Amino acid sequence: MILMAVFVYGLIAANFATSATDNHTAAQATGVQPTVFVGIGNYLDLLASEAFQHSLKNLLLYTVVFLVGTMVIGFTWAWLLERPMRGEGIFRSVYLFPMAVSFIASGVVWRWLLNSNEGEQALGLNRLFQMVGLDFLQNPWWNNITWGIAAIALPAIWQLSGYVMALFLAGFRGVPEELREAGRMDGASEWQVYRHVIFPQLSPVALSALIIIGHMSLKAFDLIMSISKPSNYQTKVPAVDMYVFKSSFDYANSAAVGAILLIIVALLVIPYLIHTNRKEASGR
Amino acid sequence: MTTTTTPTAPGIGDLAPAPRRPKGRFSAARTARYAILLFSVLIVLIPVYVLLVTSFKGPGDATPTRAWALPQLWIADNWITAWDTLSPAIGRTLQMVIPASIISAFLGSMNGFVLSRWSFRGANVVFTLILFGMFIPYQAVMIPLNQIVLDIGLPNGVPTLILLHVIYGIPITTLIFRNYYESVPHELIEAARMDGAGMLRTYAWVVLPISIPSFVVVLIWQFTSAWNDFLFAVFFSTPNTGPVTVALNNLANGAQLQNYGVSMAGALFASLPTLLVYIILGKYFVGGLMSGSVKG
């Protein structure tokens, strides 16, 4: 546990310290040249730069598409599978398996599926649309500057919808049968039982699913590295910027980007942790 | 398989439980349900089809016009090339993943035991800090971490990565074990202490044997996440010293001409171990996902 204190919280502190210096060159990174304290200067420069704003916009768009996609699909699957049915195990296994695959491996196939060639040269999904006569669906995928990042969210949805399904399924199964019975006895239709009895019971599950998927999406890195390239402007996000800055020995900016990510995650997660902590404490 | 037996046929579908509902409406809803579920299966499996089919295609076969067709000739060349390229990296991944998962599982079980048994002032704060440790974006520690690795002169690749996976695995493994020990009857441990066993003896003789279910879950979890990790790998190794994710990314995104067939065969190789874990230990895998439900 001491290890953890040092390596997590100690290093976070060290990271903030680096982010507040002018450590921007290889000579400084290796300690040949001294660095100077510049306070929050790096943060201000980053936030003011058009390129980093683009990353933040990308991150927001990616998160929204990814969250909505996995939540809607995961919830629908769980709902359809909720009542005992034939072949449930098989459906569940198929929906869940992409989760076992690394983003890098799935990136290989999605790179092909999301190939941006259109018309005669079309590959991947564009080709499929052409074959089934849905040509108008053809698009440049991740090569679109504004919306490209949303295309990268597709494989992420493919990989994690099954996980959200598993969470919701556990939620559905956790609703006591008596509650449903009681609802039916009161003359509620099957839909009303769902609407007024079961769905409200699922909100804690929905909340934790949102937090998990949300914080994964903020760290989005692997998929972008394997489908696009780190240097591609159209699909960059802060996690990728951090890598690019690090590769060019601009440690100060790299640390600042890392710190910004940490702050965003903290804003999202800390209220949730406090909330669950309180609930656990009062539940005892 | 039974899944595809026509759910529309009257009588067949109604054999399933849930007799309470009116039958006519039920069958229609049921048909729709199956239709959506089966359609989803098709969509989910599309990438698998593409991976398999393309990995068996020869160079001339992978033309745009035949993008979705089966191979004209099934060939194994891609698989051989991919294996030759990736097998050293797969070996390194095993060297990294196995010790990393075992060590972090043990550390987690000890931490979890301590946390669940000895309540002390501020235990709640410590617990919350550990929880938050699972959410932090590793980007926020990468630069100082890099400095430390350089300063103590750790070699790039396997040794460094083992250390990192162990350290950053502690929060999740601690949490899983702690939750498990909370559910174990306290009397069991009390009894051992009454018999005069110290903390270490209690741990070794009483706690460890009952922890096996948690160990399975934690090991699966750590195995899969370390195997699939790319972030640490790309920062702390090169394609020649790193695990299979780095080697595969290099193979697929390398400077040389794109060869989809080889990269797809490679992607399949790189996914086989985690897929096997999923297939063989599927039940526990889901359990791992659930207990890891606060991690990404």
User: What does each of the 296 residues of chain B score in pLDDT, given as a tens digit?
Assistant: 333 333 333 333 333 344 444 444 557 878 888 899 999 999 999 999 988 988 888 777 767 677 788 888 888 888 998 898 888 999 999 999 999 999 999 999 988 888 877 767 777 788 888 888 888 899 888 888 888 888 888 888 899 999 999 989 988 898 888 888 888 777 777 777 777 777 777 788 888 888 888 899 899 989 999 999 999 999 998 888 889 999 998 888 765 556 788 888 999 999 999 999 888 888 787 777 776 654 43
Q: Which of B51, B49, B96 is nearest to B78 (CA)?
A: B51
Evaluate whether B137 touches A258 at the Cβ level (below 8 Å): yes
Average pLDDT of the segment spanning A172-176: 86
A4 vs B16, B133, B229: nearest CB: B133
Cβ atoms within 10 Å, residue A38 = 17
Average pLDDT of the segment spanning A89-96: 90
Quick one: three-class SS letters along A70-123? HHHHHHHHHHHHCCCCCCHHHHHHHHHHHHHCCHHHHHHHHHHHCCCCCHHHCC
User: Do the Cβ atoms of A12 and B234 come within 8 Å?
Assistant: no
Separation of CA B94 from chain center: 14
Residue A166 in this model has a pLDDT that exceeds 50: yes
Token readout for B262 is 């080889």
Nearest-angstrom CA–CA distance, A197 and B181: 33
pLDDT number for residue B148: 87
Residues 76-115 of B with CB under 8 A from A: 111
pLDDT number for residue B291: 66
pLDDT number for residue B229: 92
The ipTM of this complex is: 0.85
Under 8 Å CB-to-CB from A254, ≥6 apart: which residues? A242, A243, A245, A246, B142, B143
Nearest-angstrom CA–CA distance, A118 and A140: 7
User: Is A198 exposed, middle or buried, given 0-12, 13-18 or 19+ CB atoms closer than 10 A?
Assistant: middle
Average pLDDT across chain A, whole number: 85
- Flag whether residue B293 sits within 8 Å of chain A, measured between CB atoms: yes
Nearest-angstrom CA–CA distance, B161 and B159: 5
Token readout for B54 is 């393309």
pLDDT number for residue B293: 55
Evaluate whether A107 touches B55 at the Cβ level (below 8 Å): no
User: Is B159 exposed, middle or buried, given 0-12, 13-18 or 19+ CB atoms closer than 10 A?
Assistant: middle
Q: Which residues pair with A37 in a beta bridge?
A: A21
Residues 172-211 of B with CB under 8 A from A: 174
Token readout for B28 is 């229609």
B140 vs A12, A94, A216: nearest CB: A12
Residue bearing the bigger pLDDT, A149 or B61: A149
Nearest-angstrom CA–CA distance, A103 and A115: 17
User: Do the Cβ atoms of B50 and A109 come within 8 Å?
Assistant: yes
pLDDT number for residue A274: 83
Average pLDDT of the segment spanning A46-52: 88
Quick one: three-class SS letters along B27-69? HHHHHHHHHHHHHHHHHHHHHHHHHHHHHCCCHHHCCHHHCCC
DSSP string, B82-95: HHHHHHHHHHHHHH
- Distance from the Cα of B256 to chain A's closest Cα (Å) equals 15
Whole-model pTM?
0.85
Contacts of A181 in chain B (CB under 8 A): none
pLDDT number for residue B106: 92
**Residue A57 to residues A61, A159, B126: CA-CA distances in angstroms?**
6, 23, 35
Cβ atoms within 10 Å, residue A191 = 8
User: Do the Cβ atoms of A8 and B224 come within 8 Å?
Assistant: no
User: Do the Cβ atoms of A14 and B147 come within 8 Å?
Assistant: yes
